[in-house]
Chains A and B, each alone.
Chain A
Amino acid sequence: MRVLLGRAAVLLVALGAWELWARSQNPLLYIPPSKIGPALVRVVRLEAYPALPEHLGLTVVEVGVAYALAIGLGLGLGFLLGLPRHLGEIYEPILSGLYAIPSVVWYPSLMLFFGLGPASKIAFGFLLGFFPVVLAVLVGIRSVDRHLLIVARAFGAGPGTSFVKVILPAMTATVVAGLRAGLALTVVGVIVGEVLGARAGLGYLINYAYGFLRTAEYAALAVLVLVLVMAVDGLAALVEARAQRWAG
C-alpha cells in the first residue's frame, strides 16, 4: 500500500512538472497532460479518427501473425538446435550475437523485400520476437538438470519419454519467460515498423498525427498503445506466474 501511494505520488509530481513546463512552451509541440485526456476521449470515441478500429485491427492481425511465426520458428529451431547438444553450443553464440544487433538496422532491407504493406511489419515484428523465443529454448534445454535425466532413465524412460516428462516441464518457466519477452518485442516491432513507413495501422496513425502536428492526438494514441502493450504484457505475466508456480 505504501509502495502504491509512493508510486502515485511520483507519478503526480512528474505530471505536475510536465504540466507546468509544457504550458510555457509552444502548444503545437509541447502538450500538457491536461490536454491529453480530452484528446484521448476524442480518439476513443472515434471522433478524431473514424477509421481507428480498422487501423487497430490491422495492427492486431500483424502482431498475431508475427508472433505466431516467432513462436513456431523460435520453438522449432530452438528444439532442433538445442536437443542435439553440440548444435546448440555452435549456434547459441551466433544467435545471441544477431540478437544484440540493434534491430532497426534490418528494417530498411525488410521494407525493400516486403514493401510498404503489412508484410514488412510482420517480418519486423517476427524478427524482434523470434530471438528471445529461440534463445529461451536453447537456454532452457541447456539448463535441464542432468541428474533428473539420469533418474528418469533409471526409472525406464527412453529419449522420447525423457523429453516429454523431464525436459519439457523442466524448461517451461524459461521458455514462458522467453515467450513473454518475445510478445512484447513483437508488438514493438510491428508498431515501429508502422511508424517508419506504412499506409495503415496504429503506428501509421501515430506518425500521421505527428506529421500534421496534431500533437495532443499523437500523445493520446501513444497512451493507447501503451495501455494495449501493458494489457498484453500483463496477461503474459499472469501466464508466466502460473508456469513458475512450482519452479523454486
Chain B
Amino acid sequence: MSRPAEPPHIEVRGLTKRWVTRDATIAALEGISLTVAPREFVTVLGPSGCGKSTLLSIIGGLVPPDAGEVRVAGATADGPDPRKVAMVFQDPGLFPWRTALENVEFGLELQGVPAARRREVAKGLLEPVGLRGFETRYPRELSGGMKQRVAIARALALDSPILLMDEPFGALDEQTRLLMGEWLLGIWARTRKTVVFVTHSLQEAIMLSQRIVVMTARPGRIKASLEVTVPWPRDLTGAEATALRARLWELIREESLRALEAGR
C-alpha cells in the first residue's frame, strides 16, 4: 500500500510510562515510537501485560505519559477528545440503565446534539450491525457479540476520524470473533477511519490489518513493524498468510515466554 502524503494521524515519540504501586515501580512502556497514517488499519500485537492497552489509553488521552510526545490529528493529546478519537474496550462498558439505542446516543448526548437527530444517527448505526429490533433492549438482554457491536456503534456515532480498539473481541468465542472481524472490516471499508487495534491473536492481526506492530514483553517496546501484504479478501490458510503467521509467531514466542516467566 502506498502511503498518502498527508501528515500522520497518530505520532508517538519516545513514549515512556511507569506504574507506581505501593511496593514497586513497574515500567509499562519504554521508548515507544509509532506513526499511523490517515485511514490506516494497524494492529498492535503483544503478549499479555506488555502495556499495549496502556499505549492505547495514552493515545486516547485517558492516561498521561511520563515522558515522550503523543500527537493525535496534529495536536498534542492532553485528555480525551471524542471529536478526534473514539474508543472501544474489551469490556464493552455499556451503561446497564440505557437501552442499546440510548447507549449509542451517549457521545452525541454529551456533545449536545438534539434528541431527534441523535436518535436518527443511532438508529442508522444499529441497523447495519444487525441490531434492528434490539434498539430498546437493555445490555443484559444482549449476547456478548451484540453488546460489543453496540459499543462499536456507540464509538462510530462520534464520527471521529480515529478509532482505538482495545482487544474488542477478546472476550468472544472464536467463531463470533471471526465474524466480528469480517464485520469490522466492512465498517472500515465504508468509513475509512484510522484504526489502531490491540490484540494478542495472531489470526486476528493477520485477518484485519494493513500493518502489524509487535511489542516486547514488559517493559513494552516495539519489536517489529510488518506490512501485511496478503491480498483482500484474506485467505488465512494461504501460503502468504501462513508464512506471515510463522514469522509473527517467531517474533512473539520469545516475548510470550518472557511474559510467562515474569508472571510466575
Contacts and interface: CB of A to CB of B under 8 A. Distances in A.
Interface of A: 145, 147-148, 150-157, 161, 165-166, 169-170, 172, 246-248
A165 B62 CA distance: 18
Contact of A247 (B81, B85, B97): B97
A246 B98 CA distance: 8
B110 A246 contact: no
Nearest to B138: A246
Given A156-B111, A247-B96, 8 more contacts: A148-B93, A150-B89, A155-B82, A156-B81, A156-B82, A169-B95, A170-B96, A172-B97
B80 interface: yes
Interface string B81-106: 11101110101010111000000001
B109 to A, nearest CB: 8
Contacts of B110: 155-157, 161, 165
Contacts of A156: 80-83, 107, 110-111
A78 B81 CA distance: 32
A166 B107 contact: no
Given A155-B80, A156-B111, A166-B95, A147 B106 contact: no
A153 B111 CA distance: 13
B158 interface: yes
Contacts of A161: 110
A166 B96 CA distance: 10
A246 B91 CA distance: 19
Given A166-B95, A169-B97, A154 B138 contact: no
Q: Is the interface of B mostly helix, strand, loop or mixed?
A: loop
26 contacts: A147-B89, A147-B91, A148-B95, A150-B62, A150-B89, A150-B93, A151-B93, A154-B60, A154-B62, A154-B82, A154-B85, A154-B86, A155-B107, A155-B110, A155-B158, A156-B83, A156-B107, A165-B95, A165-B110, A169-B97, A170-B95, A170-B96, A246-B138, A247-B97, A248-B138, A248-B140
Pairs A-B, 4 closest by C-beta atoms:
A248-B140, A151-B93, A156-B82, A154-B87
A246 B96 contact: yes
A156 B106 CA distance: 10
A116 B99 CA distance: 53
A-side interface mostly = helix
A145 B87 CA distance: 18
Interface in B55-91: 60, 62, 80-83, 85-87, 89, 91
Contacts of B62: 150, 153-154
B141 to A, nearest CB: 9
Interface of B: 60, 62, 80-83, 85-87, 89, 91, 93, 95-97, 106-107, 109-111, 138-140, 154, 158
A150 B91 CA distance: 11
Interface centre among B85, B89, B96, B154 (most CB of A within 10 A): B96
Nearest to A246: B97
Contacts of A150: 62, 89, 93
A161 B95 CA distance: 14
A93 B109 CA distance: 38
Nearest to A153: B80
Given A154-B87, A155-B82, A155-B106, A147 B93 contact: yes
A166 B87 CA distance: 17
Nearest to A173: B97
Nearest to B63: A150
A153 B93 CA distance: 12
Nearest to B90: A147
Contacts of B97: 169-170, 172, 246-247
Contacts of B154: 155
A155 B158 CA distance: 8
A154 B96 contact: no
B205 to A, nearest CB: 23
B150 to A, nearest CB: 12
Contacts of B85: 154
